[in-house]
Amino acid sequence: MVTKELPPPRKAIGIDQLIAIADRAEATLAQLRDDLLEPWPRKMAPMLTASRVAKLCKIERTQIQYLCTRGNKKGEYPTGTLTGNGRNREFTLAEAQQFIRIAAPYKRRPEGALGLAMAIGNFKGGVGKTTSAVAIAQGLTLHGHKVLLIDLDPQASSTTLMGYVPTPEVTEEMTVMPLVYEEQPDLNYAILPSYWDNLDFIPACPALFGADFYLPNRQSKDPNYQFWQVLERAMGPIREKYDVIVIDTPPSLAYLATSCFMSSDGLIVPLPPETLDYASSASFFRQFADLLKALADDRDVQKEFAFISIFLSKVKPRVDATDVVRSWIQQTYPELLGRAEIQDSDVVKNAAAEFKTIYDVQALGQYSRAIDSFDAMVDEIEGHIQGAWAAQLLKEKEKANVE
C-alpha cells in the first residue's frame, strides 16, 4: 500500500501577520494609483469635443460652431479651443458645463426649489452600485447641475474612483462619522472639491463600520433618539448649496444605510439581470418595506420617495438567460424599471482598472454603447429630478394657499 505524504503545514497567520499584509496592500495600492494617475493632480477632468457637447445639449454639431461664432454676439458662450488645423473644437469640462447651462436652461433648478438627495442602493455586492453612483454624479454635472457625491460605503470604492486611497489618506474625521457622533451640526466640514468641475464629494474609509455600532448603542440608551434622522438633520444647508446630492450607500439595510434612505428623495437600484441578483432584489424590497412599516407603526414615521428607479446593470447582450431574467424583472417591477440598460462592457472594466470612471475616458473617443447607456440613464434621472422639483414647488404653493 502506497501512502501519500501530507504537505508540510502552513505557518499560522496571526494578528501581526494580518497587519503586515494590510500595510503591504495599502502601500501597493497607493503606488499603483500614483503610477497610473501621475502627475499631480492625480486625476484630471477630460476635454470634451464639440460633438460631445452638442449631444449633451441635444442640438446639431453645426449649431455649436454657430453659437461659438456668429451666434455669440453677447459673448455668453465659451468658445473652447480650435484643434486639427482649426477644423475641430474642444472644450474644457468647465466650459462644456457652462455651455450646457446656457444652451439648455430648462435643466436648471427652479427658483425656490431645494436640492434633491438620491441614494444608490442594493444590499447585494457586485451589482454596479459604485460605478452607477459616480457616473450619475458626473453625468448630472454634464446637465449643468452642481452635485455633491457622498460615499457612505466603508469599502470606499467611490472614494477610490475620485482619486483617494481610503487608508491612510482618508481619516475618520474626513467622513460623515463626526456628524454621526454629534460632533458636527452638518456636513459642510467634510466636503472636498474634486478634480471634476462642479462635483464635490465627501469621502469614506473603513471607519464608517463604526456607525453601525454607535447608532444602535445610542438608540438603546435614549429611547427618544432617532437614528434614522441623523443624515436628514444635516441636509438643510446642503440642499441649498447643491442641486443634487448622490449617495453611494453601504450594501445593507443597517443603521447608517437606513438613515441614508430616510434622508433621500429618490432611490436608484442597479440590478443585473441574473437569477441570484433578481432574487436578492425581492429580499431588498421586502426588508425595506418591512423596515419603513415598522418605523411608521412604532414611531409614526412617514416616508415618501419622489421616485424609485431600477436600472438593469451589467447586461450581457445576446445571452438567453439575460432575456429570461429581464422578463421576470419587467413583470415584477413594471412601474419602477427604467428604459436605459447599462451594458457589461470592457470599457467600464478597463477604466476601473486604471482608477478611472466611464466619463473620464470619453475624451479618448471611446463613444461606445457603454457611454451611451450611462448617458441614457442620466437622462432618465434628469427627468425624475425635474418632476420632483415641480412637485416640490406645487406642494409649497398649495401650502401657501391654505395658510
Residue-wise pLDDT tens digits, 388-402: 999 999 998 888 887
Which triple of cell numbers denotes residue 53?
Answer: 457637447
Question: What pLDDT does residue 3 have?
Answer: 61
Interior angle at CA 338, CA 332 and CA 340, nearest 5: 130
pLDDT band at 40 (very low <50, low <70, confident <90, very high): very low
DSSP bridge partners of 175: none
Q: What is the pLDDT averaged over residues 357-378?
A: 78
Question: What pLDDT does residue 168 have?
Answer: 75
For 339-362, what is each residue's pLDDT tens digit? 999 988 888 888 887 888 999 886
Domains along the sequence of the chain with CATH: 48-105 (1.10.1660), 110-402 (3.40.50.300)
φ/ψ of 164, rounded to 5, equals -115, 140
Please say if the pLDDT value at position 308 is more than 60.
yes
DSSP bridge partners of 271: 312
Q: At a CB cut-off of 8 Å and minimum separation 6, what does 153 contact?
A: 129, 130, 204, 208, 248, 249, 250, 251
| Cα–Cα distance for residue pair 312/113, rounded to 1 Å | 30
| Cα–Cα distance for residue pair 174/190, rounded to 1 Å | 5
Residue 60 Cα distances to 103, 106, 363, angstroms: 12, 18, 19
Q: What is the pLDDT averaged over residues 127-139?
A: 95
Please say if the pLDDT value at position 106 is more than 60.
yes
pLDDT band at 324 (very low <50, low <70, confident <90, very high): very high
The per-residue pLDDT of the chain, averaged, comes to: 88
φ/ψ of 273, rounded to 5, equals -80, 65
Q: What is the pTM of this model?
A: 0.89
The proportion of the chain whose per-residue pLDDT surpasses 70, expressed as a percent, equals: 90
For 213-252, what is each residue's pLDDT tens digit? 999 999 999 989 999 999 999 999 999 999 999 999 988 8
For 47-79, what is each residue's pLDDT tens digit? 998 989 999 999 998 999 899 988 787 788 999
Return the axis-axis angle of helices 369-402 and 129-141, rounded to nearest 10°: 70
Any idea of the CA torsion for 233, 185, 140, 40, to the nearest 10 degrees? -160
| Cα–Cα distance for residue pair 162/42, rounded to 1 Å | 9
DSSP bridge partners of 246: 118, 149
Question: What pLDDT does residue 39 have?
Answer: 42
Which triple of cell numbers denotes residue 399?
Answer: 401650502
Q: At a CB cut-off of 8 Å and minimum separation 6, what does 13 contact?
A: 21
Cis peptide before 168 (omega within 30 of 0): yes
Question: What pLDDT does residue 349 have?
Answer: 82
